[in-house]
Amino acid sequence: MRSPQVVPDATLPKRVTIYEVGARDGLQNEKAVVPVEVKVEFIRRLVDAGLPIVEATSFVHPTWVPQLADAASVMEALGETGRSMPVLVPNERGLDRALELGLRHIAIFGSATETFANKNLNRSLDAQYEMFEPVVKRARDAGLDVRAYVSMCFGDPWEGDVPIEQVVGVGKRLFELGASQLSIGDTIGVGTTGHVTALLDAFNAAGLGDDVLALHFHDTYGQALANVRAALEHGVTTFDASAGGLGGCPYAEVATGNLATEDLVWMLDGLGIDHGVDLEKLVATSLWMAAKIGKPSVSRVVNALAG
């Protein structure tokens, strides 16, 4: 399999953690409902490819996300391996299900804008903290690790531009509920490199260092890898990505959705940055999954290496 020519950059981090979201964020946005056994095999293949963190599913109500109605069955099938995988929990009932299964890592998903908070959480921007506070407290009291996502950080399809100070205010409040990491989401993929740098500067000024921040880019406008580079130059070392580019963006037409993990790996390989992922196995996994859902991968690297 072809590899990129390695030209290291001594100014960049030497190692990056890839937080794989294809099994959750990817599949929840696909039209097809994937059988439990296929999801479990997909997750196991991702782990075998060397991905250190695989977010497995979400305990959201099946009315809202029918693609993940089988969350408990997936986690039960994964057994002990699944207990160390993060799952998204929207509320205390979701946390109850995670605790019943003995899971050790959860994530909450907040919004940087009023409109999306109302549409996605059925809460106002301020009321979302009241919903998440008992979830995080109970999780931490039970010894669980908590990740916080904040969405619509670079733009909102209803509100347009989102002020940087608003994003930082929301993100900091979510993080200070008791999270160990804050994932900053470009939900509709409109962010650009200067915006990334300015937002990270503002988070740092507010007391959140690059070591507790992650970036979650969508590639709607083809900016995801450039934005990763800007974040690397800033010092961020955790990036969310989805195998094969699984998952569209429901708020932007013709959106390619999540940054493809393979595209990220190719860039990191070219920069000589360690990540621990076997690209050949990952490409094979994405091709396998594409056949299962009857939809070709949008990853440029997958298509180039499979050609």
295 phi and psi, to 5 degrees? Answer: -145, 125
Tokens of 107: 């994530």
d(CA 128, CA 110): 7
Sheet order of strands, 17-20 included? 53-54, 17-20, 238-241, 213-217, 181-186, 145-151, 105-111, 87-88, 57-58
Residue 255: per-residue pLDDT = 60
To the query of whether residue 249 is one of the catalytic residues in this protein, the response is yes
Q: 221, 189 in Cβ contact below 8 A? A: yes
Per-residue pLDDT of the chain (307 residues; tens, 9 = 90+): 999 999 999 999 999 999 999 999 999 988 878 999 999 999 999 999 999 999 999 999 888 888 999 999 999 999 999 999 999 999 999 999 999 999 999 999 999 999 999 998 999 999 999 999 999 999 999 999 999 999 999 999 999 999 999 999 999 999 999 999 999 999 999 999 999 999 999 999 999 999 999 999 999 999 999 999 999 999 999 999 999 999 876 665 556 789 999 999 999 999 999 999 999 999 999 999 999 999 999 999 999 999 8
Catalytic residue among 106, 146, 249, 302: 249
| Distances from the Cα of 225 to the Cα of 130, 251, 263, angstroms | 35, 21, 8
d(CA 127, CA 70): 29
Compute and round to an integer the Cα radius of gyration of the chain. Answer: 18
Residue 32: per-residue pLDDT = 79
d(CA 303, CA 286): 10
d(CA 126, CA 171): 12
**What residue ranges do the domains of the chain occupy?**
17-306
Domain 17-306 sits in which CATH superfamily?
Answer: Aldolase class I (3.20.20.70)
Residue 257: per-residue pLDDT = 87
Residue 65: per-residue pLDDT = 87
Among 250, 211, 247, 175, which Cα is nearest to 21's? Answer: 247
d(CA 124, CA 121): 8
| Distances from the Cα of 275 to the Cα of 15, 16, 121, 305, angstroms | 6, 5, 34, 19
